[in-house]
Amino acid sequence: MLGKMTAPTKFQLADAPMSADRTAGFRFVSSFGEVFQAANGTWMLTSAEAVKFAVRHPEVFSSAEATNAGSGIPIPLIPVAVDPPAHRKYRLVLDSMFAPRVVNAMEDDLRTQARDLIAAFANKGECDVVGDLARLYPTQVFLTFFGMPLDDRDQLVGWVETMLDHSTTGTAEAGPEVVEAATGLFGYIQRFIDEKRERPGDDVLSRLLALEGDDAWSDEEMLGCCFLFTVAGLDTVTGAMGFLMRHLALNPELRRQLIADPTLLGPVIEETLRVEPPAPTISRTTTQDVEVCGVRIPAGSPVALCLGTANREPGHWEHPDDVDVAQADRGHMTFGGGIHRCLGSHLARRELRLVVEEFHKLIPEYEVAPGFDPVAVWPAGTLHLTSLPLVFPVGDGGA
């Protein structure tokens, strides 16, 4: 007999008071236990031990089954919707395309793009850092990596947000605008697959198309992969950027320390990622009966791995609920773990760093617009702020 059997709880993730305060939200989740069944039947793994166990056993906790069942997208999202051993072939190719040395080579271009976006509002004395920067920049970075024109940014932002809004509301039927957005995005990507097959450039898409023989990818694999990048690598960065800028706006002393000692920026980014994980849970389906932390989970069960609670486990951090640069070397699970660990973590960290560095060059002093309460969208697949109005003095520190 595998572990003890437990009855479903009344827990619903949507009930977690996450919008105003993630500390209260994640405490609510943990209060039900380290392994328990939510009212809708999903098993929640909340402790670091339980989450790490699941990501280290991908043969038991299938990402393919969870993703293909829940995405509503007709093709596999490569590589998250692929289990081992097939998963390895994709990561071998993709890892090298998003390695730190590749990100380093792009840094000047990405920095200029960040600066241009910030310069557009630096003389206005106010901005919405989410709408004017955090929503736009990750899409520009995607377009740059995939060799697509930056002019298409707003169209792409519109399609992706329409699709993600739909997955957040959890309505089963996709309305016409969602179908239109998904069709538009698929058609857009397919057009570039065709174009780059004819006229390759120096970009991720062209490099994938150049794979030959047994290594070559089908059009469906290419589409599924590009599609995943748009749903995994855009609003996550938007969310992280919003939370990071919010934290800096609310903590002027930390901001001044950061300007005086730029080496603190890496630790501040890590700690903000830890306490404000844009993807608070990731999904799996069990392929067999399994015991986790003494509790039995039957085969075929949906499971949510709660990265947000694993990131704040008491005992591991001196101040689990606070951004504290002194504990930034203790790690976190915001980028997941195991074979599906985030492919874009180096790039995401670089995007955050470049944006803060360039922001502080042009706008060193700023605060949240008086009266504005920066609450997060919840329930949501990706935790994020929809808006973060900032005000700042307009001086001569600009361009």
Q: Interface with ligand HEM by CB under 6 A: which residues? A: 63, 79-80, 91, 98, 228-229, 232-233, 236-237, 240, 278-279, 282, 334-336, 340, 342-344, 347-348
Which run of H or E residues covers position 305? strand 302-306
User: What whole-number distance in Å separates Cα of residue 244 and Cα of residue 165?
Assistant: 22
User: What is the DSSP-derived secondary structure letter of residue 383?
Assistant: -
Residue type present at position 12: Q
Closest CB to ligand HEM among 46 and 392?
Answer: 46
Report the nearest approach of ligand HEM to the CB of residue 138 (Å): 7
Report the nearest approach of ligand HEM to the CB of residue 247 (Å): 14
Report the nearest approach of ligand HEM to the CB of residue 237 (Å): 5
Closest CB to ligand HEM among 236 and 309?
Answer: 236
Closest CB to ligand HEM among 126 and 220?
Answer: 220
Closest CB to ligand HEM among 18 and 122?
Answer: 18
Closest CB to ligand HEM among 312 and 340?
Answer: 340
Report the nearest approach of ligand HEM to the CB of residue 178 (Å): 22
Report the nearest approach of ligand HEM to the CB of residue 334 (Å): 5
Report the nearest approach of ligand HEM to the CB of residue 174 (Å): 22
Torsion from C-alpha of 123, 125, 127, 129, nearest 10 degrees: 90
Q: How far is CA 369 from CA 64, 197, 251, 365, in A?
A: 43, 48, 14, 13
Closest CB to ligand HEM among 181 and 348?
Answer: 348
Strands 302-306 and 43-45: parallel
The residue sitting closest to ligand HEM, measured at its beta carbon, is 344
Q: How far is CA 204 from CA 20, 207, 229, 302, 306, in A?
A: 39, 5, 11, 33, 31
Q: Which of 70, 50, 71 is nearest to 60 (CA)?
A: 50
